[in-house]
Chain A
Amino acid sequence: MLLLCCCISAAASGQGINISAKNESLEKVFGQLEKQSGYTFFYKIELVRTLPKITVDIKHGTLIGALTQVLQNQSTLTWKIVGKTVVISKAEAPPLSTADQRANLLLVTGRVVDRDGQGIPNVSISLKGTQFAWKTNPEGIFTSALMEGAQGPGKPLVLAFSSIGFAPKEMKVDGPEKNLIITLREQVNTLDEVQMTAYSKTSKRYNVGDITTINSDEIARNPVPNVLQALQARVPGMLIQTQTGQPNGSFHVQIRSLNTLSGGAATSPQFINNGGQPLYIIDGVEYPADGSLPLAQGFNGPQYSLYGNALNFLDPSQFESISILKGPDATSLYGSRGAFGVILITTKKAKGGRPSFNLNVLHGFSNLSSRPKLMNNDQYLAMRREAFANNNNATPGAQDYDLNGTWDTTKNTDWEHYFLGGHAPTTRINANYSGGSANSSYLIGANYNSIGNIQFSKGAVKTGGMNFSLNTSTTDRKFTLGLTGSYSTNVDNMVPVDYTGSVGVLQAPDAPDLVLPNGKLNWDPSLEGNPLNMLYTLHNSTTNTLLANMTLNWTPVKGLSFIASGGYSLISAKEFEATPSAYFNPATFVTSNTRSLLSWYTIRTFSVDPRIQYENVFFGKGRLSAIVGATLRDKLQETTAIQGNGIATDELLRNPANAATAFRIDKYTTLPVRYTGPFATLNFRWADKYILELNGRRDGDSRFGPGNQFGNFGSIAGGWIISEEPWFRPVTGIIDFLKIKGSYGLTGANSLQPYQYISTYALNSNSYNGGIGLAPSNLANPYLHWETDKNAEAGINIGFLKEAINIEAIYYFNHMDDQLTNQSLASITGFPSFTYNTPARIYTHGLELNIVTHNIRRKNFSWETRINFTAPRSKLTAYPGVENLVSNFNYVVGKPITGIKLYKYAGVDPETGVYNFINAAGVKGQFTPIFSPVQLDANKDKTEFVDLAPKYYGGILNSFNYGNFSMDFLISLTNKMGPNFEAYQTFPMGVTIQNFPEDYAAKRWKKKGDITTVPKATSNILAFFDQGNFVSSTGAYSNATYARLQNLSLTYRFSHNLIQKWRLSGLSIYVAGQNLFTISKYGDLDPENMSAGRMPPLRVFTGGINVNF
């Protein structure tokens, strides 16, 4: 028996029933009655369809009267009212017992929504085990009347929800329900994955730009405090590299190829180019994760966190999805701000429904992943003795403490283990509570995160925060209001040191203990200081982050919306650092050495984005969507600092103001940037086959001088879904989906510091003889203007074998002119550089590949693989000189801008054991500076060019689901060149009291005829000359290609029965690890951060539990 129910919920009208139908079908009349009465009609569709059309005219009637009138001539039908339902059935059928019906019919109403709480229209709802079925209306609302026992006597009723693009969901119904909220998750169907765009969203199917979206499930698998780590190796076209493994550390992010000179040329040996950072938008508000934070970070040695990253302050569990927008079409609505890509972060939103509580607790530890294995004492001393023997049998001098009897040569300390061998505990807890009704919903979340330090050190980084989301709408849903907010506090009281870069790690193994038996620091002069004195530094930095966003949406008529969204973000931090007397060597300590620094900074951004959105369908086949709006963005960075020196006693150190006025330095700076501009976008789709998108924008930026502030930018994009063409049908089954797309855009970049266009003087930090001092602070360039960035891309999407294999390939190319760059100058001009629009032209291009395969899709077992691959290329195509300006030494026309010019290393001379090089004339020799008759000329003899940008990178993610188990592992792969351990050394082996890696030392030249690349050990200090040439040669760079098990997670979900027994709605336990295993021939350093002086990315092991109530 086929029974269809047409159900539309409508408010009952107090006016009575008014129907005027002329020759209308019964179906339509029932529909009218339903609307006006608020009752649901329940009938077999075929029962009614065959009946003749009727004519009625009812005014101010009752439902019963109307029904009687409408059905008076329909002898085959009979009707009953059961609760709020009108049941119409065949007259000859046994009439439904009224009593039975009252007992057996359950009325269930509710709303089906997506993860953002938006109603999903046309969701199929069926009563399991029966043929009963319903659909949701355009707002996602449904009403179904269920007959108890329909699934067999005593069996519970289960409603099944399904819709294209969403994972099906089932729900048990125990009794009548009102305002049920059912949330459907986007289906794994690759093509219909939601993709966030500038001001709306689209799907992979219809998107003509280049967007990658990572959702919260995937983020949650990474036990890391910064969401950037969770994105590593998951996004084609985006390279993320950890700069330091220190908690609260910084990251290098590069989207597509580097195409700006603004970050400067490659420098040896460390390559960090911070130019061209993407724009970060969290819920519509710009977030300053694109650069280093204005941290004061102390006056003590290494900048341990390398100026951090603002995303360290936001717990990744707050995020619902992250979209990476690349290329002209996706980014052009952000205008110049999006020239280097856009990272769009959406926080978790309130969805409504039954109140639910989710708790996630994770605990684990991290430790050092990779460091060179250094020589032990025997090997070390043998090397040092050999060094003296090689230096004309010199004898150890007064300062060669390791050999001259000062130190106990039988000691053997593994200093690396001593300083960096710890296990840092890490704990993360996050919880959220959400619920609501159809018209308003809420979500409240909280998180806590604590990470220790692996060093011989103390302190930890602790972050805690709360977030909320509220949504409300009028009953007619024409006006909606959404409010989201989050507040978090990050407290860092770690000792501000990175021992990786400290001399301590490379100390001789026979160096004396750093701590004396009495617990005091060993200040023996032979140690030349004591690196552990850092432990006495007082340090505490507290960063508070506030994010708030409000969106008002008014839809007076279908298709037209007025939207005003405004947001505010504020990072405010306080740092305190002081060196008490215990920090200093008591033998030389004077009170004036003590220092105390208190500094504050705030970065405040607010933005307003009013816009009008219009959507309509034309001629049934054309879909038009247009947005007209404007952006206003205002960013202000303020820093304040107060430093006091020579504070009388340690007790007074907490407040630098306790220093005498004469020893205080107070600072205050402001950096405002304002930005405004109107924009418009138009998207047109015809017959779901042809897509055209136009974007336009006029940008004004306060960083340019008068007359140069505005620029006009825009893009055009198109797509053709070939598989929708009728002639394509024959191939369907092999190729199910085929789309080609392309876009072209013109944009302008402005990676520029404020105030470069005017000449300014700043107060010298110190006055002179009682009066203030002023000094020029910049070289002004009033002619600065927008860079021009011409972008194009072409892409193809193919789905094979019922979309079991989906491939997306995008090829991009870009010409960038008028590069805003720091043009380096000879220092005789008084400044090392000034900012100007270089006439240099950079051509970049590259391939991005994203492959998703559903290898196995069975009920109990599934296996999915996601592969992404990127091959970025760049080339400097022209660099004309301007009058006296010379291009940077490392820029070579025809070569990438990420490369470095080097001498050609020729290995070690088998006769003498010293470095050999080959100069431009092809002559091989030692070429010692000053002393050789022929020396290497930095301008002429650097014949080699090594590109330090990756040649390719990517990731392979495998996901398995087996019963209640699921497992995910991500392998990243990067091919690049990088500086090796030796590149960081000022002296070759043997000159100073310093340990070297065991494998490197083992290869050293020992006797005539040895063929090797490692020179002899020597105690002759003049060897530093040759080392200087070596670090500028190809010998200091190695292939740093590596594959890394970036992430592994294994989850067990408890079965439904158990969960129900425990009165939970979900329970799972999991283990997760990060950066677990690396394969690389690179050698002693970590191939990701490639630094001898910065902590490599840590290895993380964790286990956790996730509970849903």
Chain B
Amino acid sequence: MSLLLQSIYTILRRGRAFATGLLLVALTLGGCKKYLEVPLPASSIAAEGVFNNDGTAAAALNGVYAALYNGSVFDYSSSLTYTLGLYGDELVNYSTIFNNKALYMDAVTSSVSSATGYWTYLYSQLYAINQAIQGIQANNALTYKNQWLGEAYFLRGLAYFYLTNLYGDVALVLTPDYLKNNGLKRSPQSDVYKQIIADLKQAQQLLDDDYHDDGGAVTTDKGRPNRMAVDALLARTYLYTKDWPNAEIQAGSVIANTGTYQLPTPDKVFLLNSQEVIWGLVPMVSNLYSYMVRDAAIYPIPKGTTPGSPYGITLSDSLANAFEPGDLRYTNWIGADTVPASGLNPQHIYHYAYKYKVKGTLTAPLESVVLFRLAEQYLIRAEARAQQNKLSGGNGATDDLNIIRARAGLPPTTAVSQADILNAIQQERRVELFCENGHHFFDLRRTGALDAYMTKLVPLKGGAGWNSNLAYWPIPVTDIQNDPNLTQTPGYQ
């Protein structure tokens, strides 16, 4: 101990700055709470601040739009067009990619990520959407609160529309509370549709007829949804739920806007902000094919090329043959590649979807990923009217049908009976809306034709067979393992 005292004495006597400094540092370092407060990383912002102003609130919604484009839900090689096209009857697979083969042979399991991926992806967007709804609702200081909230409700309706059409009964996640959501079970499809309709009605209240940009200003750019886009989705929802009068009303509401929406010639339909577009995603800079609707790169086959990697798909012959002679849509929207005979193989014509044509290095978008367009609304109204037995005349189904046929350069329909008109509408939908996010597959299912159709088709595609459970896709196994109440889609256990 004396040594210790002696040393303290030494320090006091001969104390150098070093020793005292060291002591001070050692004594103060210990409980320094202030030091532990680190700044936020340069690349992120705290969530509380996001919905406090219009700029970041709009940016949070931009995040969802960008994700829907980049995540390839509506464009590119894992889009619904691609996967449902292979799974149904629109596309033929030539690639050796496992996912594509499995889809084409209608042999999906929960390990086929092309089938289960939308589940994960759309729910991750729903988290962002639910955060936005909660955040925007809580902030009264926003100048364009209604616009942002309306967009968020519309996006939620859109996400659930595709979720329920891909997976049947789905979990209804309506808040961002992950601890609660992790125990949700699947809600019946009817409840999901109720929720979609409720959300869209909210959106109708909040949005107006003008298009707005992300600064809130009115614009002619159709990159963000307006009230007509909500009507269009609502019309489609009523059609799928067989609520014919409401489907007619909502579709009619869009069609009545003749100042904004008209049917241009087929070659102009998919151009950016064309008269026909109600809402479409605007392509942006991406790792590949910037500002380009990427379908333009993966469907067309270069002249003389046999399908295979990287041109792994063609249009099915049955679809190419479904067009009537003289159909302008055939000449405008379908491409063909003739491969001359070689060796054992005779000459063959391969067709491809050619709705999107602009390919190459772009510096600004020229086409948009069209998600809602006027022609579909005519066809919805035609079907709704036909179902209500309003077959022809002033407000008849054939009127709407013939408007679409006339644009395609075809004579008026010859169908007269309700059944024939309904069939004519389905045929028209097939050739009008092909390769636009799975319309035909959904149409077959909602009209009850799917099982019979696929039972014949699957063996032709080399698959093992069809059963009615295959109408909906499986969900990821990890979800069933992680949420005690979630069940696998029937038939995929």
Contact = CB atoms under 8 A, between A and B. Distances in A.
B309 A611 contact: no
Interface in B199-223: 213-215, 221, 223
A828 B184 contact: yes
Interface string A908-951: 00000000000000000000011100010111000000000000
A556 B10 contact: yes
Contacts of B484: 881, 884, 886
B302 A587 contact: yes
Nearest to B65: A768
B137 interface: no
A1021 B105 CA distance: 9
Interface string B323-355: 000000000000000000001110000000000
B63 A775 contact: yes
B120 interface: yes
A537 to B, nearest CB: 16
B178 A767 contact: no
Contacts of B305: 525, 587
B479 A702 contact: no
Interface stretch (A46-54, A74-82, A829-837, A1071-1079): A829-837
Nearest to A935: B493
A275 to B, nearest CB: 19
B47 A663 contact: no
Interface string B290-313: 110000000000100110111000
Contact of B101 (A645, A710, A1021): A1021
A825 B42 contact: no
B223 A768 contact: yes
A763 B23 CA distance: 45
Contacts of A608: 25, 29
A709 interface: yes
A940 to B, nearest CB: 9
B264 to A, nearest CB: 22
Contacts of B37: 702
Contacts of A883: 179, 183
B58 interface: yes
B155 to A, nearest CB: 12
Interface in B46-65: 46-48, 50, 56, 58-60, 62-65
B321 interface: no
Contact of B26 (A612, A665, A758): A612
Contacts of B66: 764, 766-768, 773
A774 B59 contact: yes
A552 interface: yes
A452 to B, nearest CB: 32
Contact of A774 (B26, B39, B41, B60): B60
B7 A556 contact: yes
B62 A1022 contact: no
A461 B27 CA distance: 46
B282 A768 contact: yes
A30 interface: no
Given A645-B287, A773-B66, A630 B221 contact: no
Q: Which of B223, B284, B289, B465 has the most CB of A within 10 A?
A: B284
A552 B294 CA distance: 64
Given A528-B309, A772-B62, A552 B33 contact: no
Nearest to A529: B309
Contacts of B31: 678, 698, 700, 710
Interface stretch (B122-130, B373-381, B446-454): B122-130
Contacts of B128: 775-776, 830
A826 interface: yes
Interface in B398-418: none
B4 A761 contact: no
Given A405-B343, A557-B3, A775-B67, A669 B308 contact: no
A1012 B218 CA distance: 72
A369 interface: no
B291 to A, nearest CB: 7
A672 B309 CA distance: 45
B55 to A, nearest CB: 8
Contacts of B27: 630
Contacts of B223: 768-769
Given A930-B491, A1028-B109, A831 B35 contact: no
A779 B119 CA distance: 19
A632 B221 CA distance: 55
A662 B291 contact: yes
Given A667-B43, A670-B41, A938-B477, A562 B290 contact: no
Nearest to B462: A1021
Nearest to B309: A528
A566 B476 CA distance: 51
A590 B302 CA distance: 13
A339 B29 CA distance: 22
A151 B279 CA distance: 105
Contact of A671 (B41, B179, B284): B41
Contact of A831 (B30, B127, B214, B224): B127
A776 B129 CA distance: 10
A885 interface: yes
Contacts of B14: 556
Given A645-B288, A764-B66, A774-B63, A884 B483 contact: yes
Interface of A: 299, 398-399, 405, 525-526, 528-529, 552, 554, 556-560, 562-564, 585, 587-588, 590-593, 595, 608, 610-612, 614, 616, 628-632, 645-646, 660, 662-663, 665, 667-678, 698, 700-702, 709-710, 754-755, 758-777, 779-780, 824-832, 834, 881, 883-886, 889, 929-931, 935, 937-939, 986-987, 992, 1021-1022, 1024-1025, 1028
12 contacts: A590-B361, A628-B26, A662-B285, A670-B41, A673-B38, A702-B37, A759-B48, A768-B66, A769-B284, A825-B178, A886-B482, A986-B98
Q: Which 4 A-B pairs have the closest CB atoms?
A: A830-B127, A884-B183, A678-B30, A826-B483
